[in-house]
Structure 1
Amino acid sequence: MAENRRGLGRGLSALLGEAEEGTVRSEPGRPAGEGAREIPIELIRRNPDQPRRRFDEAELAELEASIRASGVLQPILLRPAKGADGEYEIVAGERRWRAAQRAGLTAIPALVRQIADGQAFEMAIVENVQRADLNAMEEARAYSALMERLQYTQEQAAAAVGKSRSHVANTLRLLQLPAAVQDHVLEGRLTAGHARAILSAADPDAVAAQVMARGLSVREAEALARPRSDAPKKASGPKKAKDADTAALEADLEDVLGMSVDITDNGGAGEVRIRYATLEQLDEICRRLTRV
């Protein structure tokens, strides 16, 4: 399975990198099976299966400025559009296409390939999931669509996108949230960390509303979502504030693991607590700790 994933990655990288080794030439008459060529922007359509629904305005503006200054440095990947002779559908590179339009370009360098529906769908998801800024809700929906459309298991989906099975499983859990909470995550009003904390709440909608209204941290959201019987006992004295280095280390570990991490340090000795919410997360902890 890992070999299949690497094979897809190499194929996508090779397609997107073909023109980087040479000069991108404007030759509208070149056949679709050859190198990069200029394609009129009005002949290009977005991919309806594109997992990304939101495009950050600041990032688009930055890319637009770069294109105005230096042009499109990396060609986008297209395939002939079905039912529209002479038109093309984006497989990878919608951000560049959008920014090129905003920059006033009438054509954009592109590689045109004959790509089957299933492979095009998988390529679009791989390109987006491997970008760090993909919204967690979009990522969850992309995994779900990949599994449903291509009949993939979680293991196969993870291999296709180059992620661990536990990461895919934990991201898919976000789809268990109520639709309104999912929208908050999708629109950036709640982070993925907040969403995972809210998952365990008896009333996710109410907890989400409080988190947003009060500007609560992920840790505070976890405490709010935790059942009363599971609430920790109050300490007899005031809790000692953690130093910045310890807090930063906790945040780094939480980003890597996707789980809550608590570090207690007393002069160089202490403990690290990792709070898991599912057996998949426990499995991931064990896998990481026993990795040779």
Structure 2
Amino acid sequence: MNEDPSKKRLGRGLAALIGEMDRPAEPKKPAFQMERQVPIEFIRRNPRNPRRAFTEAELSDLAQSIREHGVVQPVVVRPDPEHPDRYWELIAGERRWRAAQKVGLTKLPVIIRDVDDRVALELAIIENVQRSDLNPVEEAAGYQQLIEGHGYTQADLANVIGKSRSHVANTLRLLKLPQNVQDMITNGSLSAGHARTLITAENPAALAEQIVREGLSVRQAEALAQTQGKGPDEPKAERTPAQKDADTKALEKLLSDVMGMKIDINHRQKGGEVRIRYSSLEQLDEVCRRLQS
């Protein structure tokens, strides 16, 4: 079976690109990897850059640093796909590019990379993730771009960015939340940990506001999400549990020990059900992983 050539960039090949992207090329490297000064008006932002939020405060701080010390680290660009003979498109370093314009610089040090759309997006996401420049929603949107636009799997992403597959899965789940809850994550009023507790809630927006208003911990947020929809005086339905035979109890214990979670087996007149009780999204991800494998 022929190997998909696009997958060859994963691992060692892409690691080499990442390792080189923030330092000038060594002698005898291809010319497009050289560091050079480029007029700032010939550099354009990347419309696919996963990072969207640039606060005025951080740009002002960086602008002051550039005013005193200059641009210490070059930005990474590639020939603009639409105007390759005239303009350069940013791959990494948009914050430096914006701050340099505030200072009034006319030229910017760049490292030029001749890469396609897919690799440019890979490098933009990885550079931002490694610097922790992306908020969780931007990170999730970047992952989604690679999945939808370039055929990535969650396992591919985990390998490329150096994160666990559960981290990738949990980050992507944030995109299921309503836009106003995603906005709270973006502006920092709601943490990703709090937000993940709301993914399966009936009214995540209302819960998010309550979490922020009351300053709840993640554990308190989990408990709140689990009890949503129950009135304060609503009695719990009483039911008499059916007696289970010794074989069923032994099987429940065996499966519980294997899974590390509570397992309930309930027989019916025809068939029955097996319930797996998980206490966190990480445990749910582990259940999904085992079922898929």
TM-score, length-scaled by structure 2 = 0.72
Of the three residues 276, 281, 287, the one matched with 1:277 is: 281
Could you tell me how far 1:188 is from its partner in structure 2? 2.0
Structure 2 residue aligned with 1:103? 103
Q: Which amino acid aligns with 1:180?
A: N
Structure 1 residue aligned with 2:55? 56
Separation in 1 of the partners of 2:219 and 2:140? 22
Could you tell me how far 1:228 is from its partner in structure 2? 6.4
Separation in 2 of the partners of 1:88 and 1:109? 12
Match status 1:140 vs 2:144: no
Separation in 1 of the partners of 2:41 and 2:196? 41
**Matched residue count:** 235
Structure 1 residue aligned with 2:247? none
Structure 2 residue aligned with 1:28? none
Separation in 2 of the partners of 1:218 and 1:279? 16
Separation in 1 of the partners of 2:32 and 2:173? 41
CA gap of 1:3–1:36, structure 2 versus 1, over 3 A, is closer
Matched ranges for 1:1-292 at <5 A: 4-18=10-24, 33=32, 35-84=34-83, 85-227=85-227, 275-277=279-281, 279=283, 281-282=285-286
Separation in 1 of the partners of 2:284 and 2:36? 46
Could you tell me how far 1:284 is from its partner in structure 2? 11
Alignment RMSD (CA, Å) = 2.9
Could you tell me how far 1:69 is from its partner in structure 2? 1.2
Structure 1 unaligned blocks of 5 or more: 23-30, 231-273, 287-292
Separation in 1 of the partners of 2:169 and 2:47? 25
Could you tell me how far 1:10 is from its partner in structure 2? 2.5
TM-score, length-scaled by structure 1 = 0.72
Could you tell me how far 1:35 is from its partner in structure 2? 1.8
CA gap of 1:195–1:115, structure 2 versus 1, over 3 A, is same
**141-150 vs 191-200, which deviates more?**
191-200
Percent identity of paired positions between Structure 1 and Structure 2: 49
CA gap of 1:112–1:104, structure 2 versus 1, over 3 A, is same
Q: Which amino acid aligns with 1:128?
A: N
Separation in 2 of the partners of 1:228 and 1:189? 21
Structure 2 unaligned blocks of 5 or more: 1-6, 231-277
Contact 2:63 2:103 (8 Å CA) reproduced: yes
Contact 1:166 1:283 (8 Å CA) reproduced: no
- State which structure, 1 or 2, has the greater radius of gyration over its C-alpha atoms: 2
Q: Which amino acid aligns with 1:65?
A: Q
CA gap of 1:131–1:173, structure 2 versus 1, over 3 A, is same
Separation in 2 of the partners of 1:284 and 1:3? 28
CA gap of 1:133–1:92, structure 2 versus 1, over 3 A, is closer
